[in-house]
Structure 1
Amino acid sequence: MRDLADGFSWARKLKVRHLESLLMLEKAGTLTEAAARLHLTQSAMSHWLAEMESLVGAPIVVRGRQLELTPAGQLMKRLAISVLGDVSRIGQELHAAAQGKASHLHVGSVWAGMATLLPSTITEFQLQHEGVSVTVTEEPFNTLLERLTRRELDVVVGTIDARAQHLRIDHAVLFEDEVCVVAGRGSRLWGRSEPLRLSALIDENWVVPPHGTSMRSQLDSALVDAGVPWLQPKVETAAITTLLAMLNRGNYIGICSEEMTRYQVARGTLQRIEIDRVIKFGAVGVLWNRDVHSATVNDFVQIAKATCTAERTGSYRHHES
């Protein structure tokens, strides 16, 4: 029992076969059926069970017509699910690594990419790479770029500006975007079609990205050009979900990339407020770490470029239900 209290030493003799046997025992319900499914004799199956109970120091099944797990067995089941899941995932990653590929891709994106480009790219990418899972992170571009250089992200969809000209970062421009002033159904400006001066909107309740983000910097520059050197926002957020919730709940206006605006307008969740000037957002592209040579990343980049071209020429295959 002291081995159990030590927390680790008891498990040194534990084998993957023990964990496989336990999960099969619970699923099959009997020793005979579990042995058959694992291509073992019943005596061999009994041996594995006896060994595991010796290691645990307590019964792990209640024997009867139908086997049931004891509290100790439930704890071992939890361990089995965790360990065997990790073994399976690592096996897939090792197989992919041996082929110069990856089984998982971590992608970061700014708002502009989240509208249609990134979902379309991921959909097309996974049609060609069924075994690759994708994690998407939505953060300000500065944060994404830092994480890319630290290799915490594999690919970033973001602004191609001076910050992207890093010595070890490669990039490809995908499209040019603008910054739009937008309102939701909670705004008093919802339904208004007449253009407004940007300076006339200074006293509205603004929801904007934090200082230091590309979109906020472009808005601040446009306000200065319009003769309004200071804006006191009501809410600052880097999350598109928060922007949408605020604009459709209360009397707020905000800013959004033209790409995301077009997407949300088509779904009736936002309205573009026409103003007396164009606010340039800049080039949006895909960035990756030059020092990481991955066929999977390269495929993702090429698909992003092809998807962007296809969407802008109207030839993209939508996979919507």
Structure 2
Amino acid sequence: MLSPQWLRSFVVLAERGSFTRTADQLGLTQAAVSQHIRHLEETLGPLLIRRPRQIELTPAGQALLVYCADLEQAEKRLNLRLAGEDDRQGEISLISPGSIGLSLYPLLLDLQAAHPGFSVRHRFAPDQDVLEAVGNNDFELGLVTIKPDDPRLDARHFAQEPLDLVIPAEGTVACWEDLEKLGFIDHPDGQAMASRLLSRVLPGNRGIRSIACKGFVNQVGLILEPVARGFGFTVIPRYAREAFARPEAIRVVEMGPGVVDSLWLIYRAQWPLSARSRFVASELASRLTGEALEGV
């Protein structure tokens, strides 16, 4: 059987690349670290290629590192199960797109303030990263804009999120030419969102690529800043627009039937959610939309 202490020494050595730094971090002697690695290699074969100033993992070493990561995830799942009955205590791990995240993060902090036993870990990420993170057990809860077909994941409808056409507060838009005069503020999903919305409200238009791009921002919390300063218009999810700190500097243009996306709460299907995550998911949905979350 592989000793957890041997494995810990191996993982830190793979991370730090030095027996000296590994020993310092673990509070051991270099001889003790070397002995741990020797025990592992006696069982598994060569794990390291030792060079004067660095080490390199062999294929067996790479495989052992993956095994160690799997053990760590298994331990996290065990702790989650063991602590899962307390719905006011423990870590809340949520990964979501930035737009909805801007609205959810303050609500998460409100819950933590009301229940100090909570610890909040929230990451902003695109849909694909959310799917991978929840599928790999890195986060217990995730939000995505497209319902997944991954059999490992369960999905529940969480909220509706319209797309908003946002212009400077003093601007006016009644036709395509008005948008051309303003220019477009792009972001990573900007052209796709603008194409979807503008094809609805201004059918037969010349396409978003025909409008001059007046700027590009890849931070969701900053997308509306150039709009507020009068540099152009953009199309952005409503929750991101509602989180903007200077709403008086922008205006939403309502022009006929819009585009409304669904947001899906996802989690692993193979085991039940912890009690605290069920509580938090329900609270977030209720505070954000005023409606209870069904089926979690």
Q: What is the TM-score with the length of structure 1 in the denominator? A: 0.54
Q: CA RMSD in A?
A: 3.7
1:238–1:289 CA distance, 2 compared to 1 (3 A): farther
Q: Distance in 2 between matches of 1:269 and 1:140?
A: 29
Q: Distance in 2 between matches of 1:293 and 1:141?
A: 22
Q: Distance in 1 between matches of 2:78 and 2:151?
A: 31
Contact 1:218–1:279 under 8 Å retained in 2? no
Contact 1:205–1:253 under 8 Å retained in 2? yes
- Residue equivalent to 1:196: 174
Larger Rg over CA atoms: 1
Structure 1 stretches lacking a partner, 5+ long: 15-92, 184-188, 315-321
1:258 to 228, 232, 238: 238
- Residue equivalent to 1:74: none
Q: Deviations over 1:252-300 (max 9, x none)?
A: 32222223323437x53652331423431311232222235441xx533
**Amino acid of the residue matched to residue 229 of structure 1?**
G
**Amino acid of the residue matched to residue 227 of structure 1?**
N
Structure 1 residue 179: Cα displacement: 0.7
Contact 1:108–1:136 under 8 Å retained in 2? yes
1:272–1:292 CA distance, 2 compared to 1 (3 A): farther
2:127 to 141, 144, 150: 141
Structure 1 residue 137: Cα displacement: 1.5
Contact 2:183–2:213 under 8 Å retained in 1? yes
Structure 1 residue 114: Cα displacement: 2.6
Q: Distance in 2 between matches of 1:9 and 1:116?
A: 44
Q: Distance in 2 between matches of 1:236 and 1:218?
A: 14
Give yes or no for the alignment of 1:268 onto 2:247: yes
**Amino acid of the residue matched to residue 221 of structure 1?**
R
Give yes or no for the alignment of 1:179 onto 2:154: no
SS at match of 1:170: strand
Contact 2:191–2:208 under 8 Å retained in 1? no
- Residue equivalent to 2:83: 100
1:136–1:312 CA distance, 2 compared to 1 (3 A): closer
1:175–1:131 CA distance, 2 compared to 1 (3 A): same
Q: Distance in 2 between matches of 1:138 and 1:98?
A: 25
Q: Distance in 1 between matches of 2:133 and 2:106?
A: 21
Contact 2:155–2:265 under 8 Å retained in 1? yes
Q: Distance in 2 between matches of 1:209 and 1:260?
A: 13
Structure 2 stretches lacking a partner, 5+ long: 1-17, 31-75, 292-296
1:303 to 277, 280, 285: 280
1:140–1:233 CA distance, 2 compared to 1 (3 A): farther
Q: Distance in 2 between matches of 1:303 and 1:191?
A: 40
**Amino acid of the residue matched to residue 123 of structure 1?**
D
**Amino acid of the residue matched to residue 281 of structure 2?**
A
Give yes or no for the alignment of 1:168 onto 2:152: yes
SS at match of 2:100: helix
Q: Distance in 2 between matches of 1:124 and 1:243?
A: 27
- Residue equivalent to 1:51: none
Contact 1:172–1:286 under 8 Å retained in 2? yes
Contact 2:142–2:265 under 8 Å retained in 1? yes
Give yes or no for the alignment of 1:127 onto 2:127: no
Contact 1:195–1:275 under 8 Å retained in 2? no
Contact 1:182–1:270 under 8 Å retained in 2? no
1:220 to 195, 204, 220: 195
Q: Distance in 1 between matches of 2:137 and 2:93?
A: 10
1:12 to 1, 25, 28: 28
Structure 1 residue 150: Cα displacement: 2.9
1:243–1:269 CA distance, 2 compared to 1 (3 A): farther
Contact 1:154–1:289 under 8 Å retained in 2? yes
